[in-house]
Amino acid sequence: MTVKAQTKSAAGSKRLVVVTQTGSSYNRKPGMRETLIGLGLGKVRATRELEDTSAVRGMIEKVRHLVKVEEKGSSK
């Protein structure tokens, strides 16, 4: 199965991840603070449901020590 075929077949059911900020962005490098804002976070205990893409996973990896990630099944 090619990449295009996989994205077309998965287009109907989006995989989601629930990201919760657990640490403060205070006294962190500006890039980390900007990444949290890019994820829609900014305050401790803020939570967002985001589509599970490679871009979002890369952002989560950058601030993995400041967030908690939970897998959420497909949405209908």
∠ at Cα 27 (25, 30), nearest 5°?
70
> How many Å apart are CA 53 and CA 41, to the nearest integer?
17
d(CA 73, CA 16) in angstroms, rounded, equals 7
pTM of the model: 0.77
pLDDT tens track for 24-45 = 999 999 999 999 999 999 999 9
> Domain span at residue 49?
24-67
Please check whether residue 40 lies inside any domain of the structure: yes
**Domains: count for the chain:** 1
74: in domain: no
CB of 26 within 8 A of CB of 37?
no
**Is residue 8 situated within a structural domain?**
no
User: 30-38 and 54-62 helices cross at what angle (nearest 10)?
Assistant: 140
Residue predicted with more confidence, 6 or 58: 58
